[in-house]
Amino acid sequence: MRVEAFGRDDGLWDLEAQMTDVKSYDFPGRKGLHKAGDPVHDMHLRITIDADFNVLAAEAAYDAAPYGTGCSAIEPSYDGLVGLNLLRGFRQRVKERFSREAGCTHMTELAAVLPTVAVQTMANRRRTEPQPEDVRPFQLGGCHALRLDGPMVKEHYPRWYVEPTG
C-alpha cells in the first residue's frame, strides 16, 4: 500500500491510496498462467478534500483485478465517499456503506487509511496557524505515547499533563 497527498493551487488536497499485489511466482489464474511480477491487484482510491477534511470528490480505479470487470464494476459506488468528513465518523460510515457485497474489501481498506494520511498532511498547517490556548491539541490522549499522564506530554505539552493515578 502507498498513499500520497498533493496540495493544489486552489487550496484543496488530493489524496491517492494505491494497493499493488505482486507475486514472486507464477500461478494458475482465471485466464491461464499468471506470471510472477504481474500485479494481481493494482487499485487506486483518490479523493479531494478541503481544509476542513470534507470529501469533495472521490474516484476508485482498477489497473489490475483478479476478476476483471467483476471487480471494477464497483468503481462508481465509491462516489459515495463524497460528503463525508474524514474526522467525523468516516471509518464507521465507510463500513456502513461499503461492507461485504456493497463494496470491494481492498478499496474499503484503502479508504480506512485516508483520515490518518490527511491529518499527517495537514499537520504543518496546524503548526503555522494560531491555535486557541484553551483548546487541548487533538492528538493528546490519542495513543500510548501521548497519554495525558505520560512522559511525552509532560515534556512537550506540560500544560496538558496530568499526574498518574494509582
Q: Do 158 and 86 belong to one domain? A: no
pLDDT by residue (tens digit) across 25-48? 999 988 889 999 999 999 999 999
Residue 135 has pLDDT above 90, yes or no: no
Closest CA relative to residue 77, chosen from 113, 104, 49, 110: 104
Whether 9 and 25 share a structural domain: yes
Same-domain check for residues 101 and 51: yes
Residues 96 and 154 grouped into a single domain: no
Count how many domains the chain has.
2
Do 147 and 108 belong to one domain?
no
Q: How confident is the model at residue 161 (pLDDT cuts 50, 70, 90)?
A: very high
* Model confidence at 53: pLDDT above 90: yes
| The pLDDT value given to residue 136 | 84
d(CA 11, CA 138): 22
Interaxial angle between packed helices 90-98 and 105-128, expressed in degrees from 0 to 180 and rounded to the nearest 10: 160
Same domain membership, residue 160 and residue 115 = no
Q: Could you tell me the residue range of the domain that residue 148 belongs to? A: 135-166
Q: What CATH number does the domain containing 97 carry?
A: 3.90.1010
Residue 122: is it exposed, middle or buried by C-beta count within 10 angstroms (0-12/13-18/19+)? buried
Same domain, 40 and 13: yes
Q: How confident is the model at residue 11 (pLDDT cuts 50, 70, 90)?
A: very high
**What dihedral angle (degrees, nearest 10) is formed by the CA atoms of 147, 128, 111, 30?**
-120
Q: Do residues 91 and 151 share a domain?
A: no
pLDDT (tens digit, 9 = 90+) per residue, 62-113?
999 999 999 999 999 999 999 999 999 999 999 999 999 999 999 999 999 9
